Amino acid sequence: MPEQSPLVPAEGDPFGPHNLPYGVFSTADEPDRRRLGVRIGDQVLDAGAAANALGSPYAALLDRPSLNPLMAAGRTAWRDVRRALTAWVTVPAHRADIEPLLHPLTAVTLHLPYKVADYVDFYASEHHATNVGRIFRPDGAALTPNWKHLPIGYHGRAGTIVVSGTDVVRPSGQRKAPSDPAPVFGPSGKLDIEAEVGFVVGTPSPQGTAVESASFRDHVFGLSLLNDWSARDIQAWEYVPLGPFLGKSFATSVSAWVTPLEALDAARVAPPARTDALLPYLDDADDEEPGGFDLRITVSLNGQVISEPPFSAMYWTAAQQLAHLTVNGASLRTGDLFASGTVSGPAREERGSLLELTWNGTEPLELPDGKRTFLEDGDEVTLTAWAPGPDGTRVGLGEVTGRIVSG
């Protein structure tokens, strides 16, 4: 029996030709040379070398050290390049040219796949926002009066977006418990995770022009998993009245793989029913396709699954978030990253942060290596996810991992 081609992943592999996420990699023999890659099974295809070997007109977009040129090329180019890549990895006649350009995933180093322009983080899960409200405002309304009228968010720090596998240094800052007479300075004692999904902008928009939710596909290139690390004690002292700052800006981890939106057509779902009327620019009732995504996320702490948040439960969609962040005329730039906010579902085992899972430390998690309220030095957190794909397949979204080290 002939040996199976590495271009033919095992049946059920979530990184088959129906997926083809993009990343940037380097090899041990050329560690300083970054190349655009496409994942197929447990292999990484050098996309630029493939384009040159086959005389493709897309070599100028693929033979690059980052995704930014391809993302900036626009939706037509994204579609055409994806069709070409699909043919290169599935048509047997191309195997002789393509197979020598594959690199085992275990033999490459993955890098941040694009240059981040701006970073915005939202607060789009009603379950998460309700839990947080109940924790910090037990005698008041769980949701703030504006929550169901607009996607709440804050502008983060693009320079501290790091790729999966990067250690996260425990941040220090001011904190003050309600019983403390004065603030103190030191390392955070309430370091947390936030299981999120990040959306990456490709096509820019001019300043002074709003982008409608229906134009989501024209501007957003793809998505990836994201962990918005949060120092809850620093955040609690600083966030009034302007919101998150040092409690968030020290690190945000993203997956090394960006899944193109076209790979997720079968995962599109309607968002939860809205209980309040929406202003016209956020009303997506007439959009051609549903704005939600059925993404199944798993959160593991030191190898132990602690949560499985469902992205389909998110109240505000990424298309509405895009419309809101540009409605004042703010421009989009290639490489802009906007995150969903913590993904949480209605069940306890679906909460996407330790703040919720331990109810602000009052209900510790029981793990094989001991109890946890918040993260300890040496803890490693991994987010993985998959989505329904065409014909019963699964689309893998890669992973985002980070390990806590002392500052």
What's the rounded Cα separation, in Å, for the pair 376 and 379? Answer: 6
The encoded tokens of residue 70 equal 């391809």
Beta bridge partners of 307: 299
Q: Which helix (H) or strand (E) holds 225?
A: strand 220-227
CB neighbour list of residue 30: distance below 8 Å, 6 or more residues apart:
none
Beta bridge partners of 365: 372
How many CB atoms are closer than 10 A to CB 97? 13
What's the rounded Cα separation, in Å, for the pair 327 and 212? Answer: 8
Beta bridge partners of 218: none
128 counts as catalytic: yes
What is the phi/psi pair of residue 240, to 5°?
Answer: -95, 125
Question: In angstroms, how far is the first alpha carbon of the chain from the final one?
Answer: 55
What's the rounded Cα separation, in Å, for the pair 230 and 108? Answer: 30
111, 127, 128, 324: the active-site residue:
128
The encoded tokens of residue 31 equal 């560690």
Burial state string for 253-276 with b = 16 or more CB within 10 A and e = fewer than 16: bbbbbbbbbebbebbbbebeeeee
CA angle, 275 then 278 then 282, to 5°: 125
Beta bridge partners of 396: 386
For the residues of 119-172, what is the DSSP string, one character each?
EEEE---HHHHHHHHHHH-TTS-SS-TTTTTS--EEE--GGGEEETT--EEPPE
Cis peptide before 388 (omega within 30 of 0): no
Is residue 55 within 8 Å of 84, Cβ to Cβ? Answer: no
- The DSSP symbol for 229 reads -
Annotated catalytic residues are 128
